[in-house]
Amino acid sequence: MPETVIVFAGGDPIPPSAVLDLPADTFVIAADSGLDRAREAGLHIDLLVGDLDSISSEGRQDAEFRRTQIERHPVYKDATDMELALQAARKQGARKVIVIGGHGGRQDHYLANALLLPSPAFADLDIEWRAGRARLYAVHKALSLPGKVGASVSLLAVGGAVRGVTTEGLRWNLKGEDLEAGSTRGVSNEFKAETASIKVKAGTLLVVVPDPEAG
């Protein structure tokens, strides 16, 4: 069983920086038109998931030619293709999931998919979302966060207040403090070291690094 699974989502073209340091020889899932993004990056797809309403005809033909495993869902379903892909990654035994793409396009889809990271349904997965140049993470207990000194980072409370937030390696560190849902207090902090530590006692944070290289 793969410990790390890569998920390609659809949306706008993927910047080269998003695929530079991917682990080799790992299981790759495409969420619908994410197959087109993966093909552009030169990656082989092990599993195609979704309703297949946005994949290109060339991508569909390539998947059929390569006999790619397909998990097809109806168009009228109760989850986005990205959520279905995360569920499929868990079935593969993944502990870490790197999601690539899925930015741009419809804002409701983007926001809904961003809220998948801090969702209790995926609290057992370590998810990193590479959405364009941005990186998004969830903190259910603790997170070691890489970044460039001077790069911006925001901590957002999701689903309620987050209690006992403690950070190290940021310009403005918190020491056992609370962040309230809907508050902008955690927006636009900065890295003071190449690795930051974030811990919480209760609740879940959504962490957004708009551009890891913009120090």
Encode the chain (215 residues) as per-residue pLDDT tens digits. Answer: 679 999 999 888 899 989 988 988 899 999 999 999 999 999 999 999 999 988 999 998 999 889 999 999 998 999 999 999 999 999 999 999 999 998 887 889 899 999 999 999 999 999 999 999 999 999 999 999 999 999 999 999 999 999 999 999 999 999 999 999 999 999 999 999 999 999 999 999 999 999 988 86
Q: What is the Cα–Cα distance from 96 to 125, expressed in whole angstroms? A: 6
Cβ(6)–Cβ(98) below 8 Å = yes
- Per-residue pLDDT at 25: 83
Q: What is the per-residue pLDDT for 1? A: 62
d(CA 112, CA 163): 24
By the 8 A CB rule, do 89 and 125 touch?
A: yes
Place of tokens 């809220």: 115
The per-residue pLDDT for 31 is 95
Half-sphere exposure (CA, 13 Å, Cβ side) for 65? 7
In 3-state terms, what secondary structure has residue 210? coil
pTM more than 0.85 = yes
Q: Where are the alpha helices (DSSP H) in the chain?
A: 34-40, 57-65, 81-91, 107-114
pLDDT of residue 24: 84
